[in-house]
Structure 1
Amino acid sequence: MELKSNNPFLGSKAFKNAEAVDADGRTVLIDYNNTMTVSGAINKSFILLLLLLTGAFATWYMIINGANAFVPTIAGAILGFVAVIAASFKPQYSGYLAPAYAVFEGLFIGGISAVFESMYPGIVVQAVGGTFVTFAVCFALYRFKIVQVTEKFKSVVIAATLAIATYYIISILASWIFNFQMVGRSATDGSWMSIGISVFVIVIAALNLFLDFDLIEKGAQRKMPKYMEWFSAMGLMITLVWLYVEFLRLLSKISSRN
């Protein structure tokens, strides 16, 4: 039995034969009374959200009180990325890695949110609202089968996501090496082309939510191990964080035109 992760950030190997490995990497027989459920994944998603908000509050509080939160913000981004990479190779440790990711990513999110808020007051509330409205709409479309997650749908979304990731990596390298800023990267570039790129990225990020919903549902149907609830919740949180950051960037670009 094999179920591949459709979340491009976590890779496709994480679900392979996960049902046959315990937290210590040993082959085991599955107790189907202790397998992944949709409700379990949802509950763990809420736990991760609370941990992320806790981490975000820490760096936000530091910045609004005049403290330098550069180190925890950058460290949070780096350690959060490390947790994602580790979980993609060792999903059986997701029960530890997912909460760690949520806290570390929260530090990063709180730091950048405070910076954006200082530049454009009210932008954080708008970005949060946009993120959760998008989540609610996508969930309703998936729940009522209006959007079907077919293999072609998955392929298109994953390909677009990887293309965006490649574009961002190239733009970052171009900025560091040649001091060249590619269109769409700067949060203060208010050109219509830059705004259009941000809208496109938000659409792709939103489409990744359907892959996350499908991953949770299929994982429960195939009775994956209990720890895959943490892994799936982590995948969903990664997409929500990406969506939120892109909303911040889009709103900042629009505000910079005023």
Structure 2
Amino acid sequence: MRSSNPVFSRRGFSRDNGYAGFNAQPQAGGAAVGTQQANPYAQGNPYAGAGQQAPTNPYANNPYAQQDLQGAPPQTPVTTGRMTMDDVVMRTATTLGTLVVTAALAWALLPVDDANIGKSYGIAIGAGLIAMILGFVQAFKRKASPPLILAYAALEGVFLGVVSSVVDNRIASGAAMQAVLGTMAVFLGVLVAYKAGWIRVNRRFYGFVMAAALGFILLMGVNLLFAAFGGGDGLGFRSGGLGIMFGIIGILLGACFLALDFKQVEDGIAYGAPREEAWLAAFGLTMTLVWIYMEFLRIIAILQGND
């Protein structure tokens, strides 16, 4: 399990020591019964060697994900030390709570009036850059580091607090609350659609989302370079009609990454992932929600700024 930010790769879909989320059946307390009930998205286990088509538990080394030599789940599921949905909810609430608190403090303590906006912007950009670095560090770590994740959330909160204050007070009154409501609506909508089976997360879905996200990020990077060297908004991808269109695309991509996050959480619980993996789930969900919030905030700023 790794972060959901489109910049980062996902351990859940790789060939490393993470779980092969779409290619093996749950082994430790999952819903599978019998050796024939495999993942409906799997076409055999591509991670097995020649002649080894039996699904394996990628968390076999976790002492709490017990299994026999045939890969069958234990008769009595072991829950101690394994990730549960309560763990994911609590860790996510802690991470988002840290972000919200620091965002509120930044909003209150870093004024954005004409006399102080330069200083506040500088602090926000510095916090955002450090948060990005911490995000990359955690994304490439093999294990979750709660202090690192909480530090990322705190610094990201400072950045969001100042940016939200600027947009809300100087461009579009009420934009921050509207962006929060929009982000919550997307989260709940994707959750309902995922649980109802309307969104089927498989390898094709994953490949499409990653390709679309890569193209989106490359376009935004090119736009940023043109803006840095040519001034203005570069190619115009972040303002006006094009800005609104790309903002909507960004929100849709964020929704797709939420579906991938939900799948990874579901697989981690089914496979008997160790409890500390819940911090990675919280980290990924937080990054995705920040992504969606920023896209909403920008769209609202464009719409109200043109009134």
TM bucket, shorter chain: 0.7 to 0.9
| TM-score, normalised via structure 1 length | 0.87
The residue identity in structure 2 corresponding to 1:152 is: R
Q: CA separation in 1, counterparts of 2:3 and 2:181?
A: 28
| TM-score, normalised via structure 2 length | 0.73
- Kept after mapping to 1: 8 A contact 2:87/2:278: yes
Q: CA separation in 2, counterparts of 1:124 and 1:45?
A: 21
Compute the displacement of 1:58 (Å): 1.8
What is the aligned residue count? 244
Secondary structure of 1:92 counterpart: coil
**1:30 to 2:62 alignment:** yes
Q: CA separation in 2, counterparts of 1:65 and 1:154?
A: 41
Deviations 1:65-112 (A, max 9, x none): 855422331122111111111111214243222111111100110010
The 5 A counterparts of 1:167-178 are 167-178=219-230
The 5 A counterparts of 1:11-30 are 11-13=9-11, 16-18=16-18, 29-30=61-62
Within the candidate set 123, 129, 144, 1:72 is matched to 123
Q: CA separation in 1, counterparts of 2:3 and 2:96?
A: 21
**1:140 to 2:197 alignment:** no
Secondary structure of 1:145 counterpart: coil
Match of 1:216 in 2: 265
Compute the displacement of 1:249 (Å): 0.6
Q: CA separation in 2, counterparts of 1:37 and 1:114?
A: 36
Deviations 1:198-239 (A, max 9, x none): 112211111111011111111122222222111111011000
Q: Which ranges of structure 2 fall in alignment gaps of 5 or more residues?
A: 20-59, 65-79
The 5 A counterparts of 1:149-160 are 149-160=201-212
Q: Which ranges of structure 1 fall in alignment gaps of 5 or more residues?
A: 20-27
State the Cα RMSD in Å: 2.2
**1:105 to 2:156 alignment:** yes
Bigger fraction of residues in helix: 1
Match of 1:94 in 2: 145
- Kept after mapping to 1: 8 A contact 2:223/2:235: yes
Q: CA separation in 2, counterparts of 1:11 and 1:230?
A: 17
Q: CA separation in 2, counterparts of 1:29 and 1:128?
A: 40
Structure 1 range deviating more: 243-252 or 145-154: 145-154
